[in-house]
Structure 1
Amino acid sequence: MSFLDLDFDNEDMIRRLRPWIETESPTFDAAALARMVDVVAFDCAAAGATIEVIPGRMGCGPSLRVKFPHPDFGKPGILVSGHLDTVHPIGTLAQNPWRREEGRIYGPGIQDMKAGNFVALEAMRRIMRAGLVTPLPVTLLLTPDEEIGTPATRGLIEQEALLNRYVVVPEPALKDQSCVIGRYAIARYNLETRGVPSHAGWALKDGRSAIATMARKIPLIEGMTSDDCTFSVGVIRGGTWVNCVSSSCFAEALSMAKTDEDLERGVAAMLGLSGSENDVEFIVTRGVTRPVWKPGQPQDIALYDRAAGIATQLGFTLGHQPSGGGSDGNFTGALGIPTIDSTGVLGAGLHTLNEHIIESSLLERARFHAGLFLDLN
């Protein structure tokens, strides 16, 4: 039997995907992530897999490791690396509820990347139901902190990847159905200004505003952007009372670099901004960093070629390109383990209230993953 003959049921898939989307799981809510793990773990167990819930750390939720029965259980195989966390806070479902409209399915986190994880699981579920055996063992590792740079589970992902022969990352497919082979480095920075407090009404001149200083620093930071290294500030918070000159302000910045050399120059430039001015201290500290996954590595291209052949059998062309958005594929690709990223479903609006997937891509991408699992050896 070919993967083309597997009996996928589109309506059944959509019905079973719905609880995944309606279980909201923002990164910063460990309890919500634990509820999400429960939902997914049940489906994995019902598919015949062995499940292991790995406790969370650093304030993050738990991870889920899923292993499917195989004659070579425990030997190097295929790792599917995905994340269960989303950027959407609890309550987003009320603004972007689960619904099917004109060939699209909406909901928070459906594109990034719950539907991708789901189709990978569905592929293995159908393979096992058909009595087929994949050439290599298949493991799913689903983690809770990708959207904040994977500070808690990077080591877990890297260790699991080193125990396997290939890594598949079902992040959303690109608009033209391409996958990702290579990703730029992503660095995060924590910014802080420490000002001098005073009463904003009767002693304004005695104070030094931490907020005002941060506001002046932001265009300076973003002005350092070039074609090779970008900088942006995406979070800012400061002050306590409107009638007090602010004594503290905090912000978070992100930079993207195409090469390790560009990354290190960018890091040096950011850290070099630290200092004092007009009695206000500006402090820059380096946060989580994703390494460059260099595009065009032979082992990744060879894996892509296998995947492209499967796509051709399904009737679509699988292109490939590097991407500026970071993922956990940065880690596995940088380790030199053959990695293919963005094998997930088609859609648009990720990280927005318009997040949705193209309904027909569920079936297509489930078959695509089944083809990968049955082909790689």
Structure 2
Amino acid sequence: MIETYLESKKQEMYELLERLVNTDSGTYNKKGVDAVGNILIEKFEEIGMDVKIHSEQKLGNHLEIKASSDSDPKILIIAHMDTVFPKGEAKKRPFQVIGHKALGPGVNDEKASHVQVLYALKALMEAGSDAYKNVHIIFNSDEEIGSPSSKPLIKQVAENKQYSIVVECARPNGGIVTERKGVGHFTLYVKGKSAHAGVEPELGRSAIEEISHKILKLQQLNNYDEGISVNVGLVKGGTSTNTIPSVARADIDVRYKHEDQATEIVRKITEISQEEHVSGTFTKLKGDMSRPPMQKTNETEQLINVIHEAAADLDMSIREVSSGGGSDASFTASEGIPTVDGMGPMGEFSHSEKEEYTDLKTFPQYTALLAKTIEKLSR
């Protein structure tokens, strides 16, 4: 029985989780991400899975895993190996268990999911189920920065798939993610003219003054009732207090609920960037909408029903939640593939410096849920 097997393997699962968490793998730490990848290659090859490495020069390599190189599985599972933490973070606060919580950098986002996917397949094999052969896994290395190098791979692998399961963490009280907002990132660069602020300020053209006008207008694009948020989260400019600033920069995060909102938001941001408030300044806008929204469809509803059935078999209850955060689920959902996210182990507080945790009490149960879902979808 899948549940019994996973209960018996809890200590093994915890030990592998500790090994992964104690390996730094920030997105730009190629050596660290590849070290996590090498652990996963070792573990998946041990159970007979075929692993293909997609090499990258600057970022970590991506892994593509299935039962055999010539198989044609219909279920895509996506997980990412990168975290948001700098080198040295794992040494600074290594893996630890307090009560039923596993703590450490990236434990919840999403190294527990690596262990979950591996042991879900091992549980299916132990149960004599061939459903593990119906799984195509992508471990990518750049999700935390929008998946620029892995997006083409995900879309390629997604062709002809019937289902997509993304194993970002499950939310407390059985929450799985069925809708996500689209995400955009933009940067404004303003060029002015420097001058001495005390001797000849009239000769200067303040880039900071110019960008301030634009920031106020950008913030007015927020429409929370419509699911639109525009946040100028970083601002830089100037060189000294006694110099009229010749340069300024603003980084903008955009979230939107429906695909048809994207064009209008981009149009308005572009218009704001082109307006001149301080004569003699020049503004350049860079960026785009990096992830489309993940929207629920009738086909997704059928997938969710199967997950409900799998949960009922385990005496679990799940509920649907929407998220303003982005994930790779958006890429497969935009291809028309029934997609569900938040199918990883349950936890909270991803990206936080101390609070991020995975709930070990429910870890085997959520691993069993993934295995049972794969089994039911493969029938």
TM norm. shorter chain > 0.5: yes
1:282 CA drift (Å): 2.7
Structure 1's 288 and 261: CA in aligned 2 closer, same or farther, altered over 3 A?
A: closer
The residue type equivalent to 1:273 in the other structure is I
Partners of 2:93 and 2:104 within 8 A in 1: yes
Larger deviation: 346-355 or 29-38? 29-38
Question: Partner of 2:232 in structure 1?
Answer: 233
Structure 1's 203 and 11: CA in aligned 2 closer, same or farther, altered over 3 A?
A: farther
Question: Partner of 2:136 in structure 1?
Answer: 139
Question: Partner of 2:365 in structure 1?
Answer: 364
In 1: Cα distance, 2:211 partner to 2:362 partner? 44
Partners of 2:262 and 2:289 within 8 A in 1: no
1:329 CA drift (Å): 0.6
In 1: Cα distance, 2:185 partner to 2:201 partner? 34
Structure 1's 25 and 243: CA in aligned 2 closer, same or farther, altered over 3 A?
A: farther
Structure 1's 95 and 224: CA in aligned 2 closer, same or farther, altered over 3 A?
A: farther
1:158-173 matches, cutoff 5 A: 158-173=155-170
In 1: Cα distance, 2:340 partner to 2:273 partner? 38
1:64 CA drift (Å): 0.8
The residue type equivalent to 1:294 in the other structure is Q
1:155 CA drift (Å): 1.2
Question: Partner of 2:376 in structure 1?
Answer: 375
1:295-314 matches, cutoff 5 A: 295=296, 297-314=297-314
1:104 to 76, 101, 104: 101
The residue type equivalent to 1:181 in the other structure is T
SS in 1 for 2:351: coil
Partners of 2:255 and 2:324 within 8 A in 1: yes
In 2: Cα distance, 1:43 partner to 1:241 partner? 54
SS in 2 for 1:19: helix
Matched, 1:13 2:10: no
1:264-303 matches, cutoff 5 A: 264-275=263-274, 276-278=276-278, 279-295=280-296, 297-303=297-303
Question: Partner of 1:67 in structure 2?
Answer: 66
1:102 CA drift (Å): 2.0
1:333 CA drift (Å): 1.0
Question: Partner of 1:351 in structure 2?
Answer: 351
1:376 CA drift (Å): 1.2
In 1: Cα distance, 2:59 partner to 2:240 partner? 31
In 2: Cα distance, 1:28 partner to 1:153 partner? 14
1:232 CA drift (Å): 0.8
Q: Which runs of 5+ in 1 are unaligned?
A: none
In 2: Cα distance, 1:201 partner to 1:18 partner? 58
1:111 CA drift (Å): 1.1
1:207-222 matches, cutoff 5 A: 207-222=204-219
SS in 2 for 1:316: coil
Question: Partner of 1:47 in structure 2?
Answer: 47
Q: Which runs of 5+ in 2 are unaligned?
A: none
In 1: Cα distance, 2:325 partner to 2:129 partner? 36
Matched, 1:197 2:194: yes
Question: Partner of 1:342 in structure 2?
Answer: 342
Question: Partner of 2:111 in structure 1?
Answer: 114
Structure 1's 215 and 121: CA in aligned 2 closer, same or farther, altered over 3 A?
A: farther
SS in 2 for 1:266: helix
The residue type equivalent to 1:283 in the other structure is K
The TM-score, its normalising length taken from structure 2, stands at: 0.90
Partners of 1:271 and 1:285 within 8 A in 2: no
In 2: Cα distance, 1:68 partner to 1:50 partner? 6
1:199 CA drift (Å): 4.2
Question: Partner of 2:221 in structure 1?
Answer: 224
The residue type equivalent to 1:43 in the other structure is K
Partners of 1:135 and 1:376 within 8 A in 2: no
SS in 1 for 2:268: helix
Deviation digits for residues 51-74 of structure 1, max 9, x if unmatched?
1110126x432111111259xx52
Partners of 1:20 and 1:40 within 8 A in 2: no
Structure 1's 190 and 132: CA in aligned 2 closer, same or farther, altered over 3 A?
A: same
CA RMSD between the two structures: 2.3
In 2: Cα distance, 1:158 partner to 1:315 partner? 35
The residue type equivalent to 1:133 in the other structure is D
The TM-score, its normalising length taken from structure 1, stands at: 0.91
1:123 CA drift (Å): 0.8
Deviation digits for residues 124-158 of structure 1, max 9, x if unmatched?
12322444321752121011111111221111101
1:166-185 matches, cutoff 5 A: 166-185=163-182
SS in 2 for 1:134: helix
SS in 1 for 2:362: helix
Aligned residues: 372
Partners of 1:78 and 1:136 within 8 A in 2: no
Partners of 2:17 and 2:107 within 8 A in 1: no
Structure 1's 219 and 54: CA in aligned 2 closer, same or farther, altered over 3 A?
A: same
In 2: Cα distance, 1:108 partner to 1:93 partner? 6
Partners of 1:184 and 1:323 within 8 A in 2: yes
In 1: Cα distance, 2:358 partner to 2:305 partner? 26
1:210 CA drift (Å): 2.7
Partners of 2:67 and 2:132 within 8 A in 1: no
SS in 2 for 1:6: helix
The residue type equivalent to 2:268 in the other structure is A
Percent same amino acid among aligned pairs?
26
